[in-house]
Amino acid sequence: MDRMLRNKKTITLFLLPSIIIFSATVILPILWSGYYSLFHWNGIGKMRFAGLENFTTLMKDSYFASAFFNNAVYLMINLVGQLGVALVLALMLSHIKRGNTFFKTLYFAPAVLSGVAVCQAFKNFYALDPPGVFNLILKAIGLGEFQRVWLGNMDTALGSVALIECYKNMGIYLVILYAGLISIPSSVIESAKMDGARGWVLFWKIKMPYLKNVFGAALIMAVNGLLKAFDIPYITTYGGPGDATELVATYMYKTAFSSAKYGYGSAIAVVIALECIVFVSVLQFLLKRNQD
């Protein structure tokens, strides 16, 4: 038996195809990206070695700085709008006895909708001519003077695009946090209630400590996803107006595939990867320390 399970041929047959595909499509391209980032290259002509020049240029690139800043704002809005809202809704659903699966599945639905579809609907909601639903609501509640072209305005575009991302992905975190909430043993909650814990105290002192690991995992997932956010700003505003909704990933994409600066684009890609690795490691470290 042991000999059969140690058979080299069987192991190779079961494992090698995955290792090859994974290496070829994920690991190798990443290393390759690092290599490209050290060159000036337009994709067709000769590659000129640049050393770390692309990275020093990047540090002085004011357009990159604003993309980075936008990305930070985008991240913050979405952490509140996805994790915060998801937590509130998960708590609400955990109090509903009948039909919570029904509500959960339907709240989750926007996450599976095609991004292009959601973005196009919201584009019309944000419009002023003809007035979309947001502007109509403002008018109806007497705040008509706040009506505007939400996506065409430098001040409101980023927040408006971020809201679409919140709408689309909140459901994922709702499902995750809800799974965490219902896995708290009911005996724990019952005995806390016996001791007189209610509402806020019950949540903060009893439920939250149980939920910490799941919340931490959700936080890591959200940060990791938002640092590389791409689809929704790209589809909705293509980074505009001006640089108002330009994020790091959309800037990288345009630099490489529209401006044909493959070396510089790769340098931005490397920065995105580093950001993800650093943030995720720091969060993981903080969560681990918190557990002990």
Q: Which CB atom, from 155 or from 194, has the smaller least distance to other proteins?
A: 194
Q: For residues 201-240, which are near other proteins according to CB under 8 A?
A: 213-214, 216-218, 221, 224, 227-228, 230-231, 235
- Which token pair is 48? 């000129």
Q: Which of 52, 277, 282, 286 binds other proteins (CB under 8 A)?
A: 277
Residue 138 as a binder of other proteins (CB under 8 A): the answer is no
Q: What is the C-alpha separation between 264 and 53, in angstroms, rounded?
A: 9
Q: Which CB atom, from 155 or from 189, has the smaller least distance to other proteins?
A: 189
Q: What is the C-alpha separation between 129 and 123, in angstroms, rounded?
A: 11
Question: How many C-beta neighbours within 10 Å does residue 289 have?
Answer: 8
Whether the Cβ atoms of residue 183 and residue 94 lie closer than 8 Å to each other: no
CA angle 203, 204, 209 (to 5 degrees): 100
Residue 128 as a binder of other proteins (CB under 8 A): the answer is no
Q: Which CB atom, from 76 or from 278, has the smaller least distance to other proteins?
A: 278
DSSP 8-state secondary structure symbol assigned to residue 144? G
Minimum gap (Å) between residue 23 Cβ and other proteins: 8
Tell me which stretch binds other proteins (CB under 8 A): 19-27, 60-68, 150-158, 186-194. 19-27
Minimum gap (Å) between residue 211 Cβ and other proteins: 11
Question: How many C-beta neighbours within 10 Å does residue 63 have?
Answer: 13
Residue 101 as a binder of other proteins (CB under 8 A): the answer is yes
Minimum gap (Å) between residue 60 Cβ and other proteins: 22
- Which token pair is 82? 């996805």
Q: Which of 10, 42, 56, 258 binds other proteins (CB under 8 A)?
A: 10
Q: What is the C-alpha separation between 25 and 43, in angstroms, rounded?
A: 19
Residue 262 as a binder of other proteins (CB under 8 A): the answer is yes
Q: For residues 52-91, which are near other proteins according to CB under 8 A?
A: 89
Which distant-in-sequence residues (6+ apart) come within 8 Å of 119 by Cβ?
A: 164, 232, 235, 236
Which distant-in-sequence residues (6+ apart) come within 8 Å of 175 by Cβ?
A: 104, 108
Q: What is the C-alpha separation between 188 and 61, in angstroms, rounded?
A: 54
DSSP 8-state secondary structure symbol assigned to residue 131? B
Tell me which stretch binds other proteins (CB under 8 A): 31-39, 63-71, 76-84, 199-207. 31-39
Q: Which amino acid is at 107?
A: Y
Residue 175 as a binder of other proteins (CB under 8 A): the answer is yes
Tell me which stretch binds other proteins (CB under 8 A): 63-71, 145-153, 176-184, 202-210. 176-184
Q: Which of 40, 66, 110, 184 binds other proteins (CB under 8 A)?
A: 110
Minimum gap (Å) between residue 189 Cβ and other proteins: 17
Number of residues interacting with other proteins: please give it, by CB under 8 A.
98
